[in-house]
Structure 1
Amino acid sequence: MRVLVAGASGMIGTALCRRLTETGHSVLRLVRHDPRSDTEFTWLPAARIIDFTLMERVDAVVNLSGASLSHLPWTRRYKKQILESRVHATQTLADAMRMASRAPDVFISGSAVGYYGDRPGQRLTEASAKGDGFLPDVVDVWEAAARLAPERTRVVTVRSGVVVGRGGAMKPLLPLARLGLAGPIGTGGQHWPWISLHDEVAAIIHLLGSGLDGPVNLVGPKPITADGFLRVLAAEVHRPYGIPLPERVIDVTLRDAGHELLLSSQKVVPEKLLGDGFVFADATAHDAIARLVARPPR
């Protein structure tokens, strides 16, 4: 396939482009700087500027654009950037597909398990209702923008959990664990949906050739609590575990970001992926963390 990737320079995008190339696909990248090769093409999503004829030359589009959620604090200005960076990029791609004489066959657009909000004790599938809060509202608008793609284009919105790779949420957590500073966050009983970077990329490639559409949860098949996850992380780097981070401190220092990223409980399961025959290489959080710790970044 010829695949156009937006957000190709991020952790997931870099790994995805490498794996696509290794498996024989052709990759074109949308960039915000002057092109440095014949596979790079400049776009300015905030200004809705893109060469729509690119859509006539590719079979699929993967959209991974968006301001990082792990950038703290979430000021009012940065929350606006979180929303607009996602919606503007997604709308720009969907608009370009509609303008093209032949739209791509599939549009895989980033999304997040933040859609579900804080739902302690509930088993959450793709059929579960939207939750309450800033992130659920962001994801709702973000996914609606993806659905503006032409009718002939199969649209998949991938609701990713915490991606266990060298970046993203693991960028602060891994060094803390290596310093022996990992411990319960809040009660520690909240469920953290997770997926290894390896399986995140494999799942996206699987979806390129699948018949699935609509929201798809990209999370590992074995749910785990924050306490369980961080205990495994500390054990894998051979450091003690136990220094707590009280919920009150999180609320005071991080406010919305702390509650929605660290304290929300989301027992999300990959029902559609499993039903579609996808096989996880890292079936447990222990597998994912062991892969992260054992292998140097490529």
Structure 2
Amino acid sequence: MSTDRIVVAGSSGLIGTALVSSLRADGIDVTTLVRRAPRDENEIEWQPDRLQLDPAALAGARAVVNLCGASIGKLPWTRGYRAQLASSRLRPTRTIAATLRSLGPDAPAFVSASAVGFYGDRPGERLTETSEAGDTFLATLSADWEHEALQAGPAARVALLRTAPLLHPRGVLKPLMLLTKLGVSGPLGRGDQVWPWITLEDEVRAIRHIINEGITGPVNLSGPEHAMANDIGRGLARRLRRPFFLPAPAWALRLGLGADAADSLLLSDAIVAPDVLLTTGFRFMHGTLDEALDAATP
């Protein structure tokens, strides 16, 4: 098999689809792991719920990228859905890690998804890749997720993608755009909480940078400019020519969405710095909030 082959799990999601398209556009051989019968030679079936993956699917690849996980944007987070959020991340990651471990020293690099939710709610604290995990539901889940990925070592080099919410019409902007178009957007909670963010284009470019540079350990995939929730909301409203005035108090968000989801997704405050990306030579295509919102709302 090609030594320039990349294996992608979770290729049907927003990031996975864009990553596969980007790699193939540059002539890179991509194998996708699917949970159904393969439709062509570029697909290989696996059953992560049963912890089943043929080692031959990964052997000889340059890297395995794991993007599996049920959407955190699906609300509310009922007890059953919280269990699904966990199992849809931990089981696939555990399956890939065990398979890579079985390949020994010839195992490909493992680039595994995580989230900036790892840090939890940390107002005023500059959070780098060396910062410890927070104590929210999403922080605990992200720490467990990373623990599973690290089990691929020492056979495989492991990189952990602590990804920020995507400023994209199908990412974090989807519900915000709907509310804004309806004319009912405004401050969420205090509104001054810092929201990490990244564009889809820079997310894909950063993943490829991590693979190409052989980076290991946690990597913050977050834009270099800090932005408050109100900055993002007002910027979006301005581009859509709609008002931004109707506040949603924190108590109402917790009541409507559930405390775990509201605190993890909308009310948490985290200044996440992309130190590893910047010190390894990565340059953002969209380095400011204005550039990111312009790209997301053409």
Look up the SS of the partner of 2:58 in the other structure.
Answer: helix
Q: Is the 8 A contact 1:126 1:216 kept in 2?
A: yes
From 84, 87, 92, give the equivalent of 1:89: 92
Q: Which one-letter code corresponds to 2:122 in the other structure?
A: R
1:287 aligns with 2:291: yes
CA deviation after TM superposition for structure 1 residue 174, in Å? 1.8
Q: How many residues align?
A: 294
Q: Distance in 1 between matches of 2:41 and 2:58?
A: 16
Structure 1's consecutive aligned runs of 4 or more residues displaced over 4 angstroms after TM superposition are none
> Deviation string for 1:72-116 (max 9, x for gaps)?
111111111111111101010011112236643311000001111
Q: 2:209 is matched with which residue? A: 206
Look up the SS of the partner of 1:259 in the other structure.
Answer: helix
Q: Distance in 1 between matches of 2:285 and 2:218?
A: 22
Equivalent residue runs for 1:222-233 within 5 Å: 222-233=225-236
**TM-score where L is the length of structure 1:** 0.95
> Deviation string for 1:258-283 (max 9, x for gaps)?
11110000110101100111000000
Give aligned-pair identity as a percent.
43
Q: 2:266 is matched with which residue? A: 262
Equivalent residue runs for 1:133-148 within 5 Å: 133-148=136-151
Q: Distance in 2 between matches of 1:102 and 1:237?
A: 53
CA deviation after TM superposition for structure 1 residue 151, in Å? 1.6
Q: Is the 8 A contact 2:59 2:108 kept in 1?
A: no
Q: Which one-letter code corresponds to 1:91 in the other structure?
A: R
Q: Distance in 1 between matches of 2:191 and 2:295?
A: 23
Q: Distance in 2 between matches of 1:115 and 1:246?
A: 24
Residue ranges of structure 1 left out of the alignment (5+ in a row): none
Look up the SS of the partner of 2:87 in the other structure.
Answer: helix
Q: Distance in 1 between matches of 2:220 and 2:195?
A: 13
CA deviation after TM superposition for structure 1 residue 66, in Å? 0.5
Q: Is the 8 A contact 2:6 2:65 kept in 1?
A: yes
Q: 1:8 is matched with which residue? A: 11
Q: 1:277 is matched with which residue? A: 281
From 125, 129, 133, give the equivalent of 1:130: 133
Q: Which one-letter code corresponds to 2:264 in the other structure?
A: E
Q: 2:111 is matched with which residue? A: 108
Q: Distance in 2 between matches of 1:84 and 1:12?
A: 20
> Deviation string for 1:141-180 (max 9, x for gaps)?
1001111114242110010011112323222122222222
Residue ranges of structure 2 left out of the alignment (5+ in a row): none
CA deviation after TM superposition for structure 1 residue 42, in Å? 1.2
Look up the SS of the partner of 1:215 in the other structure.
Answer: strand
1:63 aligns with 2:66: yes
Q: Distance in 2 between matches of 1:211 and 1:27?
A: 18
Equivalent residue runs for 1:167-206 within 5 Å: 167-206=170-209
Q: Is the 8 A contact 1:178 1:237 kept in 2?
A: yes
Q: Is the 8 A contact 2:159 2:215 kept in 1?
A: yes
**TM-score where L is the length of structure 2:** 0.95
From 249, 253, 256, give the equivalent of 1:250: 253
Look up the SS of the partner of 2:64 in the other structure.
Answer: strand
User: Pairwise CA RMSD of aligned residues?
Assistant: 1.2
